[in-house]
Amino acid sequence: MTDLISLVVPFYNEAEAIPYFCATLLPALEAIAGTDWEIICVDDGSTDTTLLQLVALSQADPRFRVIEFSRNFGKEAALTAGIDAARGAAVIPIDADLQDPPELIAQMLAAWRAGAEVVLARRTDRASDGMLKRKTAAWFYRLHNHMSHTKIPENVGDFRLMDRVVVNALKQLPERQRFMKGLFAWVGFRTVTIDYARPPRAAGATKFSGFALWNFALEGFTSFSTAPLKIWTYLGALTALGTVLYALYIVIYTVVFGNKVPGYASLFVAITFFGSVQLISIGLLGEYIGRIYVETKQRPSYLIRKTHGRFDGT
Ligand code: UDP
Ligand code: MG
* Cβ atoms of residues 197 and 105 within 8 Å: no
- Per DSSP bridges, beta strands 156-163 and 90-93 are antiparallel
**Ligand number nearest to the C-alpha of 201:** 2
pLDDT of residue 294 exceeding 50, the answer is yes
Q: What is the mean pLDDT of residues 100-127?
A: 89
Question: How is the chain split into domains, by residue range?
Answer: 3-207+300-308, 227-297
Q: pLDDT at residue 265 above 70?
A: no
* DSSP-assigned beta bridge partners for residue 93: 8
The per-residue pLDDT for range 143-198, each reduced to its tens digit, is: 888 888 888 888 888 899 999 999 999 898 888 777 888 888 888 888 888 888 88
- CA 86 to chain centroid: 19
Asked whether the beta carbons of 225 and 148 are under 8 A apart, the reply is yes
> Ligand 1 pocket check: which of 53, 95, 214 to mutate, most ligand atoms within 8 Å of Cβ?
95
- The pLDDT tens digits of the residues spanning 26-44 come to 998 888 878 899 999 999 9
User: Which pLDDT band holds residue 282 (cuts at 50, 70, 90)?
Assistant: confident
Confidence of residue 1 (pLDDT cuts 50, 70, 90): low
Q: What is the pLDDT of residue 275?
A: 77
Higher pLDDT, 89 or 227: 89
- Ligand 2 centroid–CA 172 distance in Å is 28
- CA 79 – CA 235 distance, rounded (Å): 38
Q: Is the CB of 246 under 6 A from ligand 1?
A: no
Biggest alpha carbon–alpha carbon distance for the chain:
92
Q: Cα separation of 273 and 275, whole Å?
A: 5
Please state the separation of Cα 126 from the chain's center in Å. 17
The answer to whether 2 and 88 are in contact (CB under 8 A) is no
Burial (CB < 10 A; 0-12, 13-18, 19+), residue 1, is exposed
For ligand 1, whether the C-beta of 74 sits within 6 Å is yes
Q: Is the pLDDT of residue 269 over 80?
A: no
**Ligand 1 contact via 99 beta carbon (within 6 Å):** yes
Fold classification of 3-207+300-308 is Spore Coat Polysaccharide Biosynthesis Protein SpsA; Chain A (3.90.550)
Look at residue 220 in the predicted model and tell me its pLDDT.
Answer: 81
Please report the atom of ligand 1 found closest to the CA of residue 78: 7
Ligand 1 atom closest to the Cα of residue 73 is 8
Residue 25 confidence (pLDDT): 92
- If DSSP states are collapsed to H, E and C, what string results for 173-223? CCCCCCCHHHHHHHHCCCEEEEEEECCCCCCCCCCCCHHHHHHHHHHHHHH
Query: Given a cut of 60, is residue 313 above it in pLDDT?
Result: no
Distance CA 116, CA 113 (A): 7
For ligand 1, atom 16, name the residue with the nearest CA.
Answer: 95
Instruction: Report d(CA 106, CA 59) in Å as an integer.
Output: 26
Q: How many CB atoms lie within 10 A of CB 231?
A: 13
Distance 101 CA to ligand 2 centre (A): 11
DSSP 37-87: EEEEEEE-S-SSTHHHHHHHHHHH-TTEEEEEESS---HHHHHHHHHHH--
Ligand 1 centre and the CA of 126: distance in Å?
A: 16
Determine the Cα–Cα distance for residues 295 and 71; give it in Å rounded to an integer: 20
pLDDT value of residue 128: 72
- Which residue minimizes the CA distance to atom 24 of ligand 1? 206
Position 312 pLDDT exceeds 80? no
Q: What is the pLDDT of residue 49?
A: 93
The rounded mean pLDDT for the chain is 85
What is the number of the ligand closest to the CA of 42?
A: 1
Please give the number of the atom of ligand 1 that sits closest to the Cα of 201.
19
CA of 71 from ligand 2 middle (Å) equals 20
**Residues 212, 74: Cα–Cα separation, whole Å:** 10
3-state secondary structure (DSSP) of residue 162: strand
Among the listed ranges 43-47, 89-93, 268-272, which one has the minimum average pLDDT value?
268-272
The arrangement of strands across the sheet holding 156-163 comes to: 191-197, 118-125, 156-163, 90-93, 3-11, 35-43, 64-69, 304-308
The finding on whether 97 has its CB within 6 A of some atom of ligand 1 is yes
Choice from 97, 98, 133 to test ligand 1 binding pocket (greatest atom count within 8 A of CB): 97
pLDDT at 314 over 50: no
